[in-house]
Structure 1
Amino acid sequence: MIVQPILQLKEVTKFIGGKKLIDRLSLDVHWGEVFGFLGPNGAGKTTAIRMMVGLMRMSEGDIRIDGHSIAKHFEQAIVKVGAIVENPEMYKYLTGYRNLVHFARMVPGITKQRIQEVTALVGLENRIHDRVSTYSLGMRQRLGVAQALLHRPSLLILDEPTNGLDPAGIRELRDYLRRLTREEGIAVIVSSHLLSEMELMCDRVAIIQQGKLIDVQPIREFVSRETCTEVVFEVNRKDLARQLLASHYSALVPEETEEGLVLTLEHEQIADVNELLVDGGIKVYGIEKRTQSLEEKFLQITGGEQIA
């Protein structure tokens, strides 16, 4: 059985003042995944997100959420979405619980039990009856996620959810999003300028530049899909190791660092080089593959343009 993607962008285009901000953008987001949305300054990332949640109309194309078109069947589509665009807005003089009750009144069928469920899901049980004015930024972000989850959406869209969070708060949010995909089965779209966090958080990432889709890949494949990779061999005799390598692999030019000898190898060559060194009397204390980080890959693809 083929499962339909929860979100489908089909040839989405947006013109403003005669300028094309989004150019025939097409991508799918699947159930139960954390999907990262990246782009340099002015790439059109925020514009695309605003069209996904119905805050901006498309000029051309279509966006479908669980099979429903945002343009033709807005109410059926948007009921599947929970979103935080920029910072979550709450009534600070009310408690977290009273804020959730207030938002629950806007959607039929949300029970006190559901409020308790989302409170537990984001880990606010001990502070939910405190005023929001006493919350840290990380707690307000979690309360915003709880509010976005009240109506059991199938798709959660978070625009820069880590803004202003300290490292502990970022890690907490990352863990909560992972729990959401596992326990609720929903899909999560996250945009962020913290590429190291996106690498830890996301299952797949998409990069757009000048309104166009550059690439969509699973995060692991995205940062390590080259056929050759840098490998560090930590050895006891660097000079003798270099001589052995030169006599058997004339094309390999090892770089000597404090860590050891760095070689660019295909996957199958790693074991062969290790065997050569050991047979030659070299002690190999460690072998480490170096892969590009998401940040390095992003800068390579976009030509060094800054993300926003």
Structure 2
Amino acid sequence: MQENTVLQLRNVTKKIGSRTIVDHLTIDIPRGEVFGLLGPNGAGKTTTIRMIVGLISMTEGEVYINGTSVKQNFELAMSQIGAIVENPEMYKFLTGYQNLVHFARMHEGVTKERIDEVIELVGLKNRIHEKVKRYSLGMRQRLGVAQAILHKPKVLILDEPTNGLDPAGIRELRDYLRQLSQDEGIAVVVSSHLLSEMELMCDRVAIIQNGKLIDVRSLVEAKSTAALKRVIVEVDSVEAALQALTPIAEKTSPAITSEGIELQAEREQIPEITALLVHAGVKIYSVRSMNKSLEDQFLEMTRSEQIV
């Protein structure tokens, strides 16, 4: 195991009867990273998380938490994980602070100072002494995260954490997870089927379909090094523009859309595109260049997987 790696999945498999729910997943996740498990409903994300945290057994494979085998040393492995699977469950008749004190008793060495530290970290300082029944869903999510990191785990696992949150709550949670990964050095594992949120939240994502790992993709690299971009050119005559772009049609695949002419082109090709249009007398009103979104990439990969 590499020194920086805190969560390893090795050929993790779950079968129920003749059906394979999760099929030989192998993933390495380092400390300080927000890592996404991305896939449609039924892809095997929650089953994978349940195996990592020991709620269900693995048919094959192994999970290591900070080098400790979940199968061989379950208690030590679990002591290094914080998790919220589905919704965080709290005692609603107690205050947020009383809930944290209650959960702190389940772990050795959680001091009052540590409780105050996590309250500050998740932004609940002004509301922590109110009863949980008065909390919004977003505040309960934050309290759940506070409870999960009380014992300074190496790995924080959140299953569909944005479910039921409004846009402001989603953004708050996203910011807290980023802060946690940086300030506490925790590896944060998040599962979701919401592509747009994963794109904003995660450093890398594992794309899972039908229980299989299709790809592990760095979102930072994908944003900065995407070769082909969608280029939308708004013109006065789409027919004339299409004709003018004939010399580069094979390389850029120009097509008429409701927005104008759409091409697949590298950034360096844009001056050539505009020069061809100007030379043909086509009036250009705007040129927009956009990276392929995670959604576009995900749909391309899952479609190709289905075809195979």
Using the TM superposition, give the Cα deviation of residue 289 of structure 1 relative to its aligned residue in structure 2, in angstroms.
2.2
Give the match for residue 118 of structure 1: 118
Using the TM superposition, give the Cα deviation of residue 221 of structure 1 relative to its aligned residue in structure 2, in angstroms.
4.7
Q: 1:88 to 1:250 in 2, by over 3 A?
A: closer
Counterpart-to-counterpart distance in 1, 2:14 and 2:223: 30
Q: 1:258 to 1:23 in 2, by over 3 A?
A: closer
Aligned residues, how many?
Answer: 303
Give the aligned residue type for 2:208.
I
State the percentage of identical aligned residues.
60
Counterpart-to-counterpart distance in 1, 2:103 and 2:288: 51
Using the TM superposition, give the Cα deviation of residue 239 of structure 1 relative to its aligned residue in structure 2, in angstroms.
6.4
Give the match for residue 83 of structure 1: 83
Counterpart-to-counterpart distance in 2, 1:236 and 1:37: 44
Using the TM superposition, give the Cα deviation of residue 269 of structure 1 relative to its aligned residue in structure 2, in angstroms.
1.9
Counterpart-to-counterpart distance in 2, 1:66 and 1:57: 19
Gaps of 5+ in 1: none
Report if aligned partners of 1:35, 1:203 keep a CA contact under 8 Å in 2.
yes
Confirm or deny that 1:190 pairs with 2:214. Answer: no
Give the match for residue 200 of structure 1: 200
Give the aligned residue type for 2:95.
T
Using the TM superposition, give the Cα deviation of residue 219 of structure 1 relative to its aligned residue in structure 2, in angstroms.
2.0
Cα-to-partner distance string for 1:114-149 (whole Å, 9 max, x where unaligned): 111111111101100000011011110100000001
Using the TM superposition, give the Cα deviation of residue 209 of structure 1 relative to its aligned residue in structure 2, in angstroms.
1.9
Give the aligned residue type for 2:130.
D
Report if aligned partners of 1:232, 1:262 keep a CA contact under 8 Å in 2.
yes
Using the TM superposition, give the Cα deviation of residue 257 of structure 1 relative to its aligned residue in structure 2, in angstroms.
4.2
Confirm or deny that 1:231 pairs with 2:231. Answer: yes
Counterpart-to-counterpart distance in 1, 2:4 and 2:183: 20
Deviates more, 1:45-54 or 1:214-223: 214-223
Give the aligned residue type for 1:104.
A
Give the aligned residue type for 1:143.
L
Report if aligned partners of 1:4, 1:67 keep a CA contact under 8 Å in 2.
no
Give the match for residue 170 of structure 1: 170
Give the match for residue 150 of structure 2: 150
Report if aligned partners of 2:208, 2:214 keep a CA contact under 8 Å in 1.
yes
Report if aligned partners of 1:11, 1:25 keep a CA contact under 8 Å in 2.
yes
Deviates more, 1:228-237 or 1:55-64: 228-237
Give the match for residue 248 of structure 2: 249
Confirm or deny that 1:56 pairs with 2:35. Answer: no
Secondary structure at 2:50's aligned position in 1? helix
Secondary structure at 1:87's aligned position in 2? coil
Cα-to-partner distance string for 1:193-238 (whole Å, 9 max, x where unaligned): 2221111111111122222111111125557876533211345676
- The Cα RMSD (Å) is 2.6
Secondary structure at 1:249's aligned position in 2? helix
Q: How does 1:34-113 map to 2 (within 5 A)?
A: 34-113=34-113
Deviates more, 1:222-231 or 1:160-169: 222-231
Counterpart-to-counterpart distance in 2, 1:237 and 1:19: 55
Counterpart-to-counterpart distance in 1, 2:248 and 2:171: 45
Confirm or deny that 1:12 pairs with 2:3. Answer: no
Give the aligned residue type for 1:169.
G
Q: Normalised by the size of structure 2, how large is the TM-score? A: 0.88
Give the match for residue 301 of structure 1: 301
Counterpart-to-counterpart distance in 2, 1:304 and 1:250: 24
Counterpart-to-counterpart distance in 1, 2:282 and 2:135: 58
Give the aligned residue type for 1:210.
N
Report if aligned partners of 2:81, 2:153 keep a CA contact under 8 Å in 1.
yes
Secondary structure at 1:176's aligned position in 2? helix
Q: 1:42 to 1:253 in 2, by over 3 A?
A: closer
Give the match for residue 161 of structure 1: 161
Give the match for residue 270 of structure 1: 270
Gaps of 5+ in 2: none
Q: 1:170 to 1:98 in 2, by over 3 A?
A: same
Report if aligned partners of 2:226, 2:292 keep a CA contact under 8 Å in 1.
no
Q: 1:168 to 1:304 in 2, by over 3 A?
A: farther
Q: 1:250 to 1:15 in 2, by over 3 A?
A: closer
Give the aligned residue type for 2:81.
V
Give the match for residue 287 of structure 1: 287
Q: 1:298 to 1:137 in 2, by over 3 A?
A: same
Report if aligned partners of 2:38, 2:206 keep a CA contact under 8 Å in 1.
yes
